[in-house]
Structure 1
């Protein structure tokens, strides 16, 4: 059709409003930032039509679809689409492959609401392929440097101050460690990959061809880095961020205790503190095997005492005990080993100010 749109780059660069008419089950597996799901068929209707298609062919499936989505149900769905189209005249609608469902939605909008609304040619699949290609092209064509450092050195805070940083943990909504879960859930893996790709696309459009990203394992919580990027990260040069033990303890206290507790309370209200405590204890239990029984018991007592004191008076001072213990006895030896292993790739090491200065100069020198 004449009003099919296939400039996917333009869609993502300009955050065009998108209406996804796929079923909710498809939408929740993965979509794009800011998209609204207004399905042609709900999950049950889609399943029935799919079964009919397998058993009796396309025409029987179309007939059943029209029977299931008719009358008041049809009117309500068209009204929802029309509301979206009126609110977002610069937007588009799409289905999985830019096929029958988006054609039907487009036709009904025109016939019943008098709105000629464009759809995305190729649908979700074509846009998803475009974003996957965007990351692969960046890996092949751009210059990357990793930011490493001991736990608690504030690597994310450094990234936030750089125009050419990719905040992988931000896109994954997770802090990347065993204690990294936030009060709000993580995106689906597809959503994570799509967010990252849109970020890369926008930065490259602004002339950025060198990226700084944190040295991560493949998994950030339940999200996994795109394989081409992760594989290439094993060879990228590194910059190592340093800070004192005291500074790191204070930063972890702020991020993983004070701020995380406030986040849980903001999201869950009265239950927030109990859920925060549960999360902290669960995180410690997750590393029990690697800590060993004796160390785990010792840290657990310190953490339970700290949580009791926090619940009682709001004071967080006792948390420093288990934080420092974990750093000294668990995280630091592990990171020291990592640093030694990756030593040949480290081109600069220093504290925050020096690292920022080096990375900014590196960007200018490579342009």
Structure 2
């Protein structure tokens, strides 16, 4: 049997024990339904080989070769990761478009006695739902943006608001990037995978309640914020967080400990600022880094680079600020209290 889904929520709530993506590892790595496991019936090389046979020789021969490969790989999965499943196990399987790969695998599993079903349209049906929610349909959610200079603990406050029961979307967390030249947190997901994760997060939210989102540009690292989300962000009211430069510098030196502890990485990142700030100024920042004076380095970067850019952006776009919260202190207690204030303002807007 095949399963048809008309929304992301329905897809994710389907009553199946395991969601199996049988596409090749490279396809799975680019994007997959969140929560799926990858049990490829053809690996990347095998898929390329079968495709070449299909084009250059004949579809029949491609199916013959592909069928043998699928059977061998299915046997390996049954004897390996599926070995401990009992007879009442109910998996849901999908491939690229709900065709031969998923149906071949499902047929073998059914013969064993497992209650397997296939996603009609495969991954492409999932992708259509994602595109519909992020690009085609207007977003029903009400966003409130948290804004402020670099170092005002906006990302930290988003996490605290969530911990206190507020609705949030952490764009930087989903993008695996902190949104600046120093923002690298490791490899970013592919654009499609970012969008899948974002669509899932949105599907969990109550549109009747406000959702806190950090004020970002339309690009986070190498990834782009989808159109419907960006449109709501541009029209959203803002809560501005303020703090002194000295407090922000101390906070940033701690928040970016992963970078300041890697001397070569920090030097390389500072070098990227030479076209914007000039050799002399960047060398002065590098001297602070070499001396381990990370608080003064953070202060200099904000005063001479980030704060002026923020001011220019604000002057250009003139966003409306609905409320301002001052972090007189940036310790744990102050940030918890600020998160409480943010929730109160969100609910009042």
Structure 1, gaps ≥5 residues long: 262-272, 307-317
Q: Which residue of the partner structure matches residue 229 of structure 2?
A: 229
Deviation at 1:230, TM superposition (A): 2.4
- Whether 1:321 aligns to 2:323 is no
- Whether 1:250 aligns to 2:250 is yes
RMSD, aligned α-carbons:
2.7
TM-score (norm 1): 0.82
Query: Which structure carries more helix by proportion?
Result: 1
Deviation at 1:141, TM superposition (A): 2.3
TM-score (norm 2): 0.86
- Whether 1:169 aligns to 2:172 is yes
Out of 266, 275, 279, the position equivalent to 1:280 is 266
State how far apart, in whole Å, the 2-side matches of 1:19 and 1:84 are: 16
1:172-198 per-residue CA deviation (whole Å, 9 max, x = no partner) reads 11111110112x422222111111111
Deviation at 1:53, TM superposition (A): 2.0
1:330-365 per-residue CA deviation (whole Å, 9 max, x = no partner) reads 111111222233334222222257864554234434
1:295-326 per-residue CA deviation (whole Å, 9 max, x = no partner) reads 111111111221xxxxxxxxxxx211211111
**8 Å contact 2:177–2:220 — kept in the other structure?**
yes
Out of 187, 190, 193, the position equivalent to 2:192 is 190
**8 Å contact 1:53–1:60 — kept in the other structure?**
yes
Deviation at 1:136, TM superposition (A): 4.2
Q: Secondary structure at the match of 1:299?
A: helix
Deviation at 1:243, TM superposition (A): 0.9
State how far apart, in whole Å, the 1-side matches of 2:115 and 2:324 are: 58
State how far apart, in whole Å, the 1-side matches of 2:142 and 2:15 are: 26
Q: Secondary structure at the match of 2:280?
A: helix
State how far apart, in whole Å, the 2-side matches of 1:38 and 1:334 are: 47
- After superposition, residues 1-367 of structure 1 pair within 5 angstroms as 1=1, 3-6=2-5, 8-13=8-13, 17-71=18-72, 73-80=73-80, 82-83=82-83, 86=86, 89-111=89-111, 113-136=112-135, 139-162=138-161, 163-182=166-185, 184-204=186-206, 208-257=208-257, 259=258, 276-306=262-292, 318-352=293-327, 356=339, 359-365=342-348
Deviation at 1:9, TM superposition (A): 2.0
Q: Secondary structure at the match of 2:256?
A: helix
Aligned residues: 335
